[in-house]
Copies of this chain bind each other. A is one copy, B any other.
């Protein structure tokens, strides 16, 4: 019988300690955290590691090593010790390296560090495990459908030698799913033993479907996921690669908005940042730059009109200081479109759901009605943020994520995502990870800090369906 833990209730105070805010976590059982395996791992790992402490050689991670899921304790509060499987190189692996073929597919939007992930998967497989055949799938899942994409290329050292210094991704990427059966057929035809899927929520759902199809056919193909989301919204992954780089660029955009706003008469710098369901990047960039006066995130349905709404608050700020900077996540303010929709587009064209131009229009209209001159500078830096090379931090993180994914797959795990929990790398069942998405805890330290540093009104949190 499943034993559910109402973690939500217990987390009141926990999140305040974390550097990167936190998310609502669904009820879990230990079974939700069990990784599927392809079979018994009997082969000695070729890695030059040992199980002996103190011999100067790096150590294997035992297959039964675990990381505690919950590490906060409070007297008088019940805990259940769920555990996550620790990631790392195993002494016994499942695949004979010399007979193994691996493939890498990268999906969705660009993210700093993608090339680093590709390069590190390649290096770990080729030079450490001595896997001879590593394929690059072109342009996302489309490359796994022979009717849509180009055939895969066998990667060589020359292909990846300098790519860790470049933005973008050499394999190319695309959006959209493919039929799991088609993909599995492709994997069989190409004799692929391991498929590394680098992507976000949609990509991971696809990887899970492929894993299930593989299981249905009782094939011995491992599917390993590496979380890629510039929004940082994947559960069990404290921080994804690319996030640190994105933060750096995003705060730079806020600084430019400040310069623009501050140099104009009633200047308003309006910056749209990434974040469909989670305001992490917007909130952190605002905290890091200290340049934003209003931070609008998907977790908070801010009111536009009314005495406490954004427009009046902005007007008060301008009366007081003559300039303002607004950082808005792309997923914020979607509630405003329902009521306002017909004012803007009778056909319900989704392009009008772009909160950036919408806010610009509404702000300009408000001040026009008030007969207050205003100068709104709208900045949408998203492509300039996500396409730059990874910074040192993200280079390290993408390198680690990639190597741990190789260890996981070579050991015979499948349907497995590399997570990052309590500062440890762990294995997470992809099926569990895609059950929900991570967003910012509005009563946690991050959002509290944002409110204090901006002085903006404390609007109520968005009700979650």
Contact = CB atoms under 8 A, between A and B. Distances in A.
Interface of A: 9, 12-14, 16-20, 49, 51, 53-62, 64-68, 71-75, 83, 86-89, 110, 114, 123, 127-128, 139, 142, 162, 164, 166-169, 172-174, 238, 244, 247-248, 250-253, 255-260, 262-265, 269, 284-285, 287-290, 375, 377-381, 383-384, 387-388, 391-393, 395-397, 399-400, 403, 420, 422-426, 442-445, 447-449, 451-453, 458, 460-461
B72 A67 contact: yes
Contacts of A256: 167, 383-384, 387-388
A290 B379 CA distance: 25
7 contacts: A16-B88, A110-B263, A173-B264, A174-B375, A284-B392, A377-B383, A400-B445
A337 to B, nearest CB: 20
A19 B458 CA distance: 36
A35 to B, nearest CB: 15
Given A19-B400, A263-B387, A422-B422, 16 more contacts: A16-B58, A17-B67, A19-B425, A20-B423, A53-B443, A56-B443, A65-B73, A66-B72, A71-B424, A72-B424, A139-B265, A162-B162, A172-B265, A238-B423, A288-B392, A422-B423
Contacts of A375: 174
B169 A263 contact: yes
A74 B13 CA distance: 28
A255 B166 CA distance: 10
A71 B74 contact: no
Contacts of A255: 167
Contacts of A12: 51, 53, 59
A65 B13 contact: yes
Given A17-B61, A19-B425, A86-B17, A383 B379 contact: yes
Contacts of A259: 110, 166-168, 387-388
A65 B70 CA distance: 13
B387 A16 contact: no
Nearest to A171: B263
A56 B442 contact: yes
B71 A444 contact: no
8 residue pairs, one from A and one from B, having the closest CB atoms: A58-B448, A168-B259, A17-B424, A167-B259, A259-B387, A288-B392, A423-B423, A168-B263
Nearest to A173: B263
Contacts of A263: 110, 114, 168-169, 172-173, 387
A102 B304 CA distance: 41
B264 A56 contact: no
Q: Which residue of A17, A255, A400 has the most chain B CB atoms within 10 A of its CB atom?
A: A17
A145 to B, nearest CB: 12
Given A17-B425, A71-B422, A139-B265, A251 B392 contact: yes
Contacts of A379: 383-384
